[in-house]
Structure 1
């Protein structure tokens, strides 16, 4: 049993995957969209994640595979153009998440180390530099990647839980506390769509699926790992949102949108609190980039092995899949060309579509996986309705974000169609 993953480690994988760079990147964005209703938006997004985690738990137990989501999609639809396109979208979504984490790192870092007075230039320099640095580490040693992640999970949770404990105490008597009352909430539709823009902060629970083959006592521990990690993170995010909205007025939140969590520590802990949270953000986003680079390159390798991408992508460069370099270069391109809201929207669109389809697979295969069709069906419908709400809301306010997200999906389908078509003659 020594080589098996224990329950606490599986829960750590889920929590570490979710509490990566997402909360640091999207908290300010969520508050701008939902205002006093930000905790409700995090709850709505969390409930969608919780429903989806049920489908993942059933699929992970029945089809344990290090390919995780890739395996589930192929199991539900076979290896064809549709499954190939969705699995390629998963890889692209990893790239988008990497760009989101790098963008968050680039926003927080200048508050500690000022490279230039041009804040936008400094953000791009830090965002690009951390991707390059993490890529070098991934090439140097996968063991180091794992060690960094293990240490980072502990550090960021200790700091965030301390922030929550002190922050909740500091709310009493704070005049901004009234901003949490319903009169400061946006409309129900906006609360839902805000939750979907920030849905990327929850997507990391799906990493448990990749570890499923190695989890000990899978019949009980896989289910527990998903539910405990998702429920813990829902409660953590809601509390962080309450502390932030109750500590700062809306104009302060808007001015510090890119590093609002650090700013929220100031009323309780002054400049020292700001610095500590900034350090936590840098550690969290760096570890998330490190782990996601590894995960993204593995997804790319799996797709090439399944002939959903050119088989040449199974080649290795400096003893690592060539997909690592491709993922890194693509991330550099995205983070230096798209705005934070466009990156977040594209990531949420991608994962809501993928999760809606995974829920449908669980619904379709319910007899085989011994799952509850109602729960998986609700998860699927919930994801698709949430996706529709996100697209409608963002199209009215941030049209470019929606067009970019839809273009990414279209490229995945068109590219897979032509790849499969070009393959046919050689298979005869």
Structure 2
């Protein structure tokens, strides 16, 4: 596609990547951790994401080449293995994000009265999630993608629905209650907002998709910088008002039906004007559309990201041809298959936590790289330091919460992380491992005395 993207389109891509499915997928998970202080968790995560984005912007300028995290690690450390492992970690983070969106897509689909939760003894949640992923894999194989103008309209519609819901919900809560809205003041000085911020971090990763598409962006350095500094604060604001509205309108739904609590809150708000069902329908349809478009956009961008890894030799040649036009079909099919497996097998908590940890690690690493470049006049040390400290703080606190409160999720996340790291090490250190095995075999062979008859002691005929 030859279309050039300006600032409006860049903001749409970044903002759409964050709010496209994040709020519908993570709100219930985050609220279970920190209750009415969920808004504070989103603010914390947004601040760390903004500081990490500053690091990306500065490293992009210093490297003078596109490519994102992998390129920066290559450029500023010269460590190919580290760059490749970061690339794989980020790719698995995208897979986790898409699985999270597919999970939420199915949850809202079965929230419609006409859709049963199971059929022939088979839970439809998993079937719908896998079907959604398969459908968008098919669209990407056909080369379908929204144009910049279409993306602007779609994102504007999604933002409008959420802003109207959030502001309307807060106004309604103020009108029906003599006391001010619950903002979770009692939890603000506890560690729960920090724990919840780590879990919600995956909802702030969409902005980095811009760094993979710089050749189509007009004046990419300046445009990406402005788009990110607009989109992240806007996403934080939307998350805050939606969280406050939902917590105050449907606190019980966040406990009983956390994945679809927005729908319950919208129904309650609009019941006052006699259009209860319409409110729930609008939110549910918006959620289906938003999570679906988030799967499609992330699959498209992660496909090109994976193609970049392939061209750098960070993925095996058998997964596709790096010189092919567009994304090799085998890459799209492979990413789609792993995503479908995650969405069918994992719980939303496990998938969300794993994806957040992946982005925490990579964003923290990029912040560290930028902090190392603080001697450069263009790099102020404070934002990278905040990004690094924030990521370093989120990681252990989030794991502690999972261990203490959600032991099964903790084990699932650890198993996923261990499997990913093991595969990465085996792939990127395969030459070293092969050489060490050969050296060991040579040492064993050298220890065998050639003058000893191997038949001695075995008896004779």
Is the 2:46–2:232 Cα contact (8 Å) retained in structure 1? yes
State the Cα distance separating 1:232 from its structure 2 match: 0.8
Q: In the superposition, relative to structure 1, how do residues 319 and 405 fare at CA in structure 2: closer, same or farther (>3 Å)? A: closer
Determine the structure 2 residue equivalent to 1:302. Answer: 308
Determine the structure 2 residue equivalent to 1:102. Answer: 102
Determine the structure 1 residue equivalent to 2:73. Answer: 73
Aligned partners of 1:30, 1:143: CA distance in 2, in Å? 31
Q: In the superposition, relative to structure 1, how do residues 8 and 335 fare at CA in structure 2: closer, same or farther (>3 Å)? A: same
Q: In the superposition, relative to structure 1, how do residues 148 and 257 fare at CA in structure 2: closer, same or farther (>3 Å)? A: farther
Is the 1:13–1:208 Cα contact (8 Å) retained in structure 2? yes
Determine the structure 1 residue equivalent to 2:9. Answer: 9
Aligned partners of 1:425, 1:105: CA distance in 2, in Å? 43
Aligned partners of 1:193, 1:125: CA distance in 2, in Å? 31
- Equivalence map 1:3-402=2 (5 Å): 4-63=4-63, 65-112=65-112, 114-118=114-118, 121-143=123-145, 149-175=151-177, 180-182=182-184, 185=187, 188-218=190-220, 220-248=222-250, 250-269=251-270, 270-315=276-321, 320-367=328-375, 370-402=378-410
Is the 1:90–1:354 Cα contact (8 Å) retained in structure 2? yes
**Which stretch of the first structure deviates more once superposed, 81-90 or 132-141?**
81-90
State the Cα distance separating 1:258 from its structure 2 match: 1.1
**Which stretch of the first structure deviates more once superposed, 26-35 or 78-87?**
78-87
Aligned partners of 1:391, 1:117: CA distance in 2, in Å? 32
Q: Deviations over 1:339-358 (max 9, x none)?
A: 11011110111110110001
TM-score (norm 2): 0.85
Q: Deviations over 1:258-281 (max 9, x none)?
A: 111111111221221111011100
Q: In the superposition, relative to structure 1, how do residues 13 and 118 fare at CA in structure 2: closer, same or farther (>3 Å)? A: same
Is the 1:60–1:212 Cα contact (8 Å) retained in structure 2? no
State the Cα distance separating 1:182 from its structure 2 match: 4.1
Q: Which of 422, 427, 431 is the equivalent residue of 1:419?
A: 427
Q: Deviations over 1:147-198 (max 9, x none)?
A: 7645431321121122123223212233396561445537621111012111
Aligned residues: 425
Aligned partners of 2:65, 2:412: CA distance in 1, in Å? 32
**Which stretch of the first structure deviates more once superposed, 336-345 or 163-172?**
163-172
Q: Deviations over 1:39-72 (max 9, x none)?
A: 1111111111111111122123333555322222
Is the 2:173–2:181 Cα contact (8 Å) retained in structure 1? no
TM-score (norm 1): 0.91
Q: Deviations over 1:361-395 (max 9, x none)?
A: 11123345821123212211211111111111111
Aligned partners of 1:233, 1:72: CA distance in 2, in Å? 26
Q: In the superposition, relative to structure 1, how do residues 178 and 251 fare at CA in structure 2: closer, same or farther (>3 Å)? A: farther
Aligned partners of 1:220, 1:68: CA distance in 2, in Å? 16
